[in-house]
Every structure is written in structure tokens, then in C-alpha cells.
Amino acid sequence: MLVDGLVFALLGSALAIGLAGIGSALGVGIAGEAGAGVMTEDPGKFGQVLLLQALPGTQGIYGLLAGFWVLIKLGLFGGTPVAVTVAQGMQIMFACLPIAIVGLLSGISQGKTAAASIGLIARRPEETGKAIILPAMVETYAVLSLLATILLLNSIKL
Amino acid sequence: MAISKVKRIHIVAHHSLKGAILARLQDLGVMEVVTEENPSPELLPSSSSRKEELERMLGEVRYCLDFLERYRQDKPGALESFFPRPVEVKKEDFLRHSFSYIPVYRACLAIEEQLNQIRAVINKLNTNLEFLKRIKNVEVPLEYIGGTRFTFSCLLEVPREKYATLEEKLKELGREWLMETFPSPRGFWVFLVGHRDLEAQIKEVLQMLSLVPLVFPQAFEGTPEEAMHKVETRLHEVMTERELLYQKALRYLKFERDLKVTHDYYSVLLEREEVERAILQTRETSLISGWAQEEVIPAIEESLRIIGREWVLYQRDPQEGEKPPIDLRNGIWTRNFEVLTRLYGLPNYTELDPTPFLSFFFFLFFGICLGDVIYGLVLALLGFFAPLFLPLSESARRFFHMLGWGGIASIGAGMATGSWLGDVFDYLPSFLSAVTQFKKALTVIDPINNPLPMLIFSLALGVVQILVGIGLSFVKEWRRKHFAVAIMDHLSWFVFLVSIVLYLLGVTGLQVLKGVALPLVVGSALFLVATQGRAKKNPIMKVLSGILSLYGVVSYLGDVLSYSRLFALGLSSSIIAILARTLGMLFGGSPYIGWLIGLLIALLFNVFNLLMSGLGAFVHSARLQYVEFFTKFYENGGREFKPFGYKTKYIKLS
């Protein structure tokens, strides 16, 4: 029984890291394609483009953070592993879902917004500030889901 | 607030003084010259003739600079190209500028033309070389190919499988032909000589076998091997010639400084010329109009008096409907945050400058979001020391200072939440245990083990900022003497929200507040219901839209919840730091160079985390200002004050 609980908890951790990571990878990819297009015209915009391309990268970090938190909680990093029941394992898995799902989808969406913003700075480089704020609006929901995951994980007593 | 007061200025002067006045104004650099809107019909636009000429000259100087840039050997480093060091020039020398760029320009043009010719020659030689390489096995002097009076000859590439057929077909034609073969990658090179009488028939055979005689790009002498040698020698000569030209081009680099000064000198003249075009005139006078701060007007008058007496300066306050330019004036600390106001958009002239308000909140929020002592220290050192070593513009310097202050806030937030490079300080060797104790003594909240207090603190900051926002809009409307709007739309909400907060405090703990707050909640809610529908005519609609307006509380709730990101981002940076520490220790435990790998991994993770968390802290703190705070009171739409002065690209006047 002990093992079963751990399986669910690890699945949760893996989903958080994996799905949010996919979201970021896709988002950064989408933004990067747009950025490369802009830089063929003006390689001098590298700094601004890189900044915008980095924005959808945060979901992956949030996912990693949530997954890591689970591993710490389970005592798998250096400490003694904690015994986890099936119910607790599933609780942990569900707690991981907000950042896993929202991370995946918001990463893609933020990537598209960042790509559009890169298009904006291609024509109006003086508006970089505003161009950065638009993708950040999407990120709000990734931050909120990270918050939900953290609070949920914190409320599970092992 | 901190928007400086400007006056509209009109200088009416005799034509003869126009040039001198503009030169003085540009030198002072305190007045923005604009074209008069709706001028009276007797004012005519002035014509300026030198603009095209100046633009041409500027283009030529730029060409020289680009040319030199292309051939220079000492390319600037990455840091240098981001922050180019300006050329320092004394103002008197700059104004007495006398360098004639034309010889340099001509020389550059000539070198460029020669280089282009050489490039064409090199291309041609390379093509020939490629061609000759193909047929290098053919040991026939190439001048033999073509024919004589009685013979014709050609060179063919014959694939292995066609060779026998070719020979057979030719034998059928007679005996007045000769073939010599050499190996080729696909078969043979065939040097074919035939009698003129057979020419037509042989060509038919070749066509049937779809063999095409080789066409030469030009006439060559000797065998391909010999011809190749000649081409290579020539190529070498030309390359040497090109090298000499490069060196010649490099010699002109000594004029780089003069060219840069010339460039900026002409661009200053061009700007003056463009301003001159904005000036209206009558038969005898010119009208220079613009904006300037009240306190600099005496200085303008003073310097005009030196020029002559045939001028008058009128000044007045901005009128209704005019849009004066905006010049933000903030204190030595708050001005570092002006860039945030600029990013969103400058305020209108009648608005208040939000910089003083946002600067404190941004400072605080940035600190909480980054939330680590060591990261803060790194950022503060970078922000305050980089401007000392890099030649930065004023605005870039302020940006660095803003980051530096963000770092300082982060040091504070990190101390309070016990995040010193994550939890690295808990793992210090025992002789440093005093440091760990010191760290623990400073910790007020531990968000990792007990997140709720930090979350509540973040939301509370949100409540405070939103209330400040509503308060500011109340003050703004009150100052504009819109007392009813100020009280009914802003003060009422302020009281309503404060009383809700007090009531919630009462419910959760302080019982005393509950009794005070409840009547306030009800009272202010009723007041809102009574006043918010005042625009409607129908009394039922008045009440309904009044009640509906209370729904606005939901949007305030949403705004407050948005501040939870402060907590989440702060936690995220310290947890990634803990992750770095954990991974570092994991690898550090391995034998031999394990400690080095562990250290490198931890370092890499921390640098990455500092960059991403720093970016996140900036973006999200800015967003909270723009979306949650500014929407409560701020209207942008102002235009930056751009004084007419010396705008230079390469040089710095001293």
C-alpha cells in the first residue's frame, strides 16, 4: 500500500514538471520563431526579442517548482522517505493539476502573445515596455495556478 | 504634482536675427520649438534651402563611417557595442568645427570602387579555376580546340556507356577523324578532331547521342594544368592588391574621430534647419513659438539680449485646448522610477504625476517578488556600480539605479522571509553557525513552512495600494472642484471598502471593530445605492443601477487577489534557489571533482533563477502598477517635452 501512494504522488510531480514544461517549450518556441523572423530584418533587436521570448519560459519553472516541492514533501531529497497512503498520494496528484494544466495552456497562449508583441517591437521599438506587459497579463493565470498548487500541497498533511 | 509648469513663448524678431536666435536657443537647449497652430493668414511659412544639402552631406559622412566600420580590425567587444564610449569634445571646438570630410569621402569611394572591381575579377578567376579543374586531365593545349582551315575540333565529356556507340558511329562515317581520350569522373574527356567535310555528319551523331561540345568561358592557352597555374598566379596577385587596399582603407581610420564630430555637427545643423522650417514669418519678422519652463525664461531673454535688440518675447500660461509638453521633475530617489511612468505613457498636463506614488510600491513589490538577500545584493551591486564604469545615458543610468534599489528592497524582503540564496545559510559549516543564527533572528515570516501569513500580507498590500489609488482620484476630482463626483464616486467607495476590511478584521479577531464597522458598511452601501444611479432619469432605474453598482466590489476583490502574485513569485525564487542548493549537494556528494560539479550546477541554476526571477519581478511589479493601480486614477496621453538642443550620436559635449 505504501508504494501505491507514492506512485500517485510522483505522477503528480511528473505531470506538473512535464506538462508545464511542454507549455513553456511550445510558448518559447512560438515566440522564438517570430523573433528569428524579426531579426532577419534587424539583428540589433536581439536584446528585446530575447526578453520577450523568455517570458513564456516561466511556466516550466513554476512546474519544476511544484514538482520539486512534492519531492521535498515526500522526503525523497536526502531525508527519509515519508510513508504515503493511496488517499494522500492522490491528494498530492490532484494538488499538482492546477499548475500542470494551466501551465501547459497558458504557456502556449503566452507564447502567441509574445510572438505578437515581437511583431509590435519590429515596427515600433519604442513601445517595448508595453509589448512586455501584454504577455505578462497571460502569465497572471499561471501564477495563480502555481499559488493554488502551493496552497493545496501545503494543506495536505503527511 | 511633479510635472513642471511650462509657459507658451512667442519670440517675434527681425529676419536678420532669426539665424542667430535659433543658434542661441539650440545652444541653451531649454525650449521646445513648435509650429503655431491655426496661424493668422498674414503669417507665411518660411522656406529653408539648406535641408537637402545638409542631408546629402550627412549621408556622405555616414557612408565614410560605415565604410571604415566595415574594414576595421579592432571590432568592439560586446559590452562596448552595447554601450559605445562617446567622443568627448569641447563645446567651443565643436561649434568652430572645420574638418573637411570631402577628401576622405572621395578616397573611401575610390577604394570601395576598386574593391568592387577586384571582387568582380576574383569571382571571374574563381569561376575559371573551377572550370579548368573539371578538365584538368585533358592534356591538350586548349588553343587547339576550335579548328583550322581543314579541320574542326571540340572537347566532349562522354559517359562510359556511350563511348563504344560513339566510336562505332564515327567509324561508319569514314576515316577522316581522330579521337584522343582522357579520364573523367563520369567516363572520358574526348578531344575530337575531324575533317571539315565530315563536320555536319559528326555533329548529327553527337546530337543523336545527346553529347554537347564543351563551351569555354574564355580562351585559354596551354594545357588545362598550365592554364590553372596562370589563373592561380593572377588570383594571388589580385588578392595581394586587395590586401593593400584594405590597409589603405584602415589608414583612414585616423579620421574616425573627426568624422564622428562632423556627423554630429551636421546633424545639429540639420535639426536647426528643420526647426527653421517650423517658423512662420511676415515680410519683416519671424515668429518663433514654443514651450519652456517658467524659470528658464529670464535666461532665454538674457542670451537674446547679447544678439541684438530687434526682438520681443511674449509669454503666457497654457490655454484650454492646448496640449503642453510634459517634463517630469521628481526627487533624487523617485526619478529613478520615472521610466515606469514613461513606459505606460506620460500624464496629461492637468493630471498628477503618478511617479512618486508608484515608486514606493514598485520598490516594495519588486523586493517581495525577488525576495532573496543574495540575489538582492547582486542586483544592488550591479545597479549601483555598473553606471560608474559604463558610459550610460541619463535614462539608462536611472534604469540601473532602479534595479539597484529593487535589489535593496529584495535584501530587506529576503531578510524578513529568511531567504538567503534559498536555504543555503542553514547548511553552513559549524564555525559559521553565528551567521545562521543571525539569519534566523531576522526572519519574521517563513513562507515555505507557513505560507498563509505571507499571502495575507501580499493581499493587504493590495488593499493598501487600491485604497491609495481611490484616494488619489478623490483628491484629483476635488482639486478640479468636481466635489460631487469626488464624494459620490470616490470617497464613498473608499469608505465602503475600508469599512468592509474593518468588518472582516472584526469577524476574524478584533471584536471591537465589528460593531463600528457594520453601520459604516451599511451606511456607505446605502449611500452608493442612492448616488450611483444619479445619471438615470427613471426613478426605478436609479435604484436598480445604484444596487447594481455595488457589484463593483467584485472587481475590487479581483484586483486585490491579483496581488497574491507577490507571494507566489517571492516563494518561487527562493524555492528554485533551494532546488539549486539541493542539486548542488546531490552532485557535490560524489567523489573526486564532485564538489566542483555540484558547485557549478548550483551556480548555473542560481544565475538562471536570478535572471528569470528578476525579469518576473520587474514585469509583475510593473503590471500591478499599470493594471491594478493606474486604472483607479490615472489618465495618460501626455507628450514628452523635447527641448531644441544639441542631439548627438557619437559625441559628448563638455
B453-to-A151, B258, B422, B457, B502 alpha-carbon distances in Å: 12, 64, 19, 6, 18
Backbone angles phi and psi of B193, in degrees to 5: -120, 135
Residue A103 above 50 pLDDT?
yes
CB–CB contact B451 A77 (8 Å): no
**Where is B157: in which H helix or E strand?**
strand B151-159
What is the signed CA dihedral for B394, B398, B399, B403, rounded to 10 degrees? 150
- HEC string for B177-190: EEEEEEEECCEEEE
Q: Which three cell numbers stand for residue A32?
A: 522564438
Render B299-351 in DSSP notation, one character per residue: HHHHHHHHH-SSEEEEEEPPPTT----B-B---TTGGGGHHHHHHH-PBPTTS
pLDDT at B398: 93
Range of weakest confidence among A29-33, A125-129, B274-278, B554-558: A125-129
B165/A25 Cα distance (integer angstroms): 62
The residue range of the domain holding B373 is: 329-444+567-635
Is residue B472 domain-shared with residue B552, that is, in the same domain?
A: yes
Q: Which three cell numbers stand for residue B172?
A: 561508319
Is residue B387 domain-shared with residue B490, that is, in the same domain?
A: no
Q: Which three cell numbers stand for residue B150?
A: 581543314
Mean pLDDT, all residues of chain A: 88
The label of the residue with cell 453598482 reads B549
Bridge partners, B293 (sequence order): B6
CB–CB contact B616 A78 (8 Å): no
Is residue B528 domain-shared with residue B598, that is, in the same domain?
A: no
Is residue B606 domain-shared with residue B626, that is, in the same domain?
A: yes
* Residue of chain A whose alpha carbon sits nearest to that of B449: A154
* Residue of chain A whose alpha carbon sits nearest to that of B452: A151
The label of the residue with cell 572550370 reads B131
The label of the residue with cell 588553343 reads B143
Domain endpoint, select from B217, B233, B249: B233
CB B407 within 8 A of CB B380: yes
Kindly calculate the radius of gyration of chain B based on its CA atoms and give it in whole angstroms.
40
3-class state of residue B287 by DSSP: strand
pLDDT band with cut points at 50, 70 and 90 for residue A3: low
Domain assignment present for B501: yes
Is residue B466 domain-shared with residue B418, that is, in the same domain?
A: no
A33/A28 Cα distance (integer angstroms): 9
What is the domain count for chain B?
3
Domain assignment present for B2: no
Instruction: Name B596's Cβ contacts closer than 8 Å, sequence gap at least 6.
Output: none
CATH of the domain at B209: 3.30.70.2750
Residues of B in contact with A52 (CB under 8 A): none
Domain endpoint, select from B233, B267, B289: B233
**Where is B472: in which H helix or E strand?**
helix B451-479
Q: How many CB atoms lie within 10 A of CB B511?
A: 10
Give how far the C-alpha of residue B579 lies from the chain's centroid of Cα atoms, to the nearest Å: 33
Domain assignment present for B422: yes
Q: Nearest-CA neighbor of B316 among B7, B31, B34, B32? A: B7
B219/B124 Cα distance (integer angstroms): 13
- HEC string for B378-426: HHHHHHHHHHHHCCCCHHHHHHHHHHHHHHHHHHHHHHHHCCCCCCHHH
Domains and CATH numbers, chain A: 5-155 (1.20.120.610)
Domain endpoint, select from B218, B233, B248: B233
* Among candidates A47, A137, A146 on the partner chain, residue whose Cβ is nearest the Cβ of B568: A146
Q: Which three cell numbers stand for residue B124?
A: 571571374
Give how far the C-alpha of residue B274 lies from the chain's centroid of Cα atoms, to the nearest Å: 26
Domain assignment present for B384: yes
Q: Which three cell numbers stand for residue B491?
A: 470617497
CB–CB contact B572 A69 (8 Å): no
Number of inter-chain CB pairs under 8 A, A vs B? 78
CB–CB contact B582 A77 (8 Å): yes
Residues of A in contact with B82 (CB under 8 A): 47
Residue A44 above 80 pLDDT?
no
pLDDT at A78: 64
CB B118 within 8 A of CB B245: yes
Domain assignment present for B25: no
The label of the residue with cell 488517499 reads A87
Instruction: Name B184's Cβ contacts closer than 8 Å, sequence gap at least 6.
Output: B135, B137, B157
Q: How many CB atoms lie within 10 A of CB B81?
A: 10
pLDDT at B63: 92
Residues of A in contact with B616 (CB under 8 A): 58
CB–CB contact B344 A130 (8 Å): yes
A100/A117 Cα distance (integer angstroms): 25
Residues of A in contact with B627 (CB under 8 A): 137
**Where is B27: in which H helix or E strand?**
helix B15-28
Q: Nearest-CA neighbor of B452 among B367, B567, B624, B557? A: B567
B286/B275 Cα distance (integer angstroms): 12
pLDDT along chain B (654 residues), means of 10: 84 89 90 84 76 90 90 76 81 83 92 93 93 88 84 88 87 85 86 87 87 86 90 93 90 89 91 86 88 91 89 89 88 91 86 91 96 95 92 88 96 93 86 86 86 89 95 91 88 91 83 80 87 81 84 85 89 89 85 88 92 91 90 87 88 83
Q: What angle do CA B542, B544, B550 make, to 5 degrees?
A: 105
Q: Which three cell numbers stand for residue A91?
A: 491528494
* Among candidates B568, B582, B611 on the partner chain, residue whose Cβ is nearest the Cβ of A150: B568
Is residue B410 domain-shared with residue B424, that is, in the same domain?
A: yes
Instruction: Name B622's Cβ contacts closer than 8 Å, sequence gap at least 6.
Output: A129, A132, A133, A136, B340, B343, B362
B634/B457 Cα distance (integer angstroms): 25
Burial code (b: 16+ CB inside 10 Å, e: under 16) for B215-232 equals eeeeebeebbeebbeebe
3-class state of residue B89 by DSSP: strand
Residues of B in contact with A140 (CB under 8 A): 562, 565, 623
Domain assignment present for B124: no
pLDDT at A1: 45
pLDDT at B532: 82
CB A83 within 8 A of CB A9: no
Residue A2 above 60 pLDDT?
no
Bridge partners, B45 (sequence order): B280
The residue type found at B194 is: G
- Shortest distance, CA A34 to any CA of chain B (angstroms): 20
Domain assignment present for B78: no
CB–CB contact B575 A65 (8 Å): yes
Range of weakest confidence among A16-25, A86-95, B531-540: B531-540
B177-to-B48, B143, B199, B374, B618 alpha-carbon distances in Å: 81, 19, 10, 91, 86
- B343 Cβ under 8 Å from any chain A Cβ: yes
pLDDT band with cut points at 50, 70 and 90 for residue A115: very high
CB B157 within 8 A of CB B210: no
B162/B134 Cα distance (integer angstroms): 20
In chain B, which among 614-633 make CB contacts under 8 A with chain A?
615-616, 619-620, 622-623, 626-627
Is residue B176 domain-shared with residue B140, that is, in the same domain?
A: yes
Give how far the C-alpha of residue B226 lies from the chain's centroid of Cα atoms, to the nearest Å: 57
Q: Which three cell numbers stand for residue A11?
A: 505522477
Is residue B211 domain-shared with residue B179, that is, in the same domain?
A: yes
Domain assignment present for B192: yes
- Shortest distance, CA B230 to any CA of chain A (angstroms): 41
Burial code (b: 16+ CB inside 10 Å, e: under 16) for B237-266 equals ebeeebeebeeebeebeebbebbbbbbbbb
Q: How many CA atoms lie within 13 A of B322 on its CB side?
A: 18
B321/B621 Cα distance (integer angstroms): 35
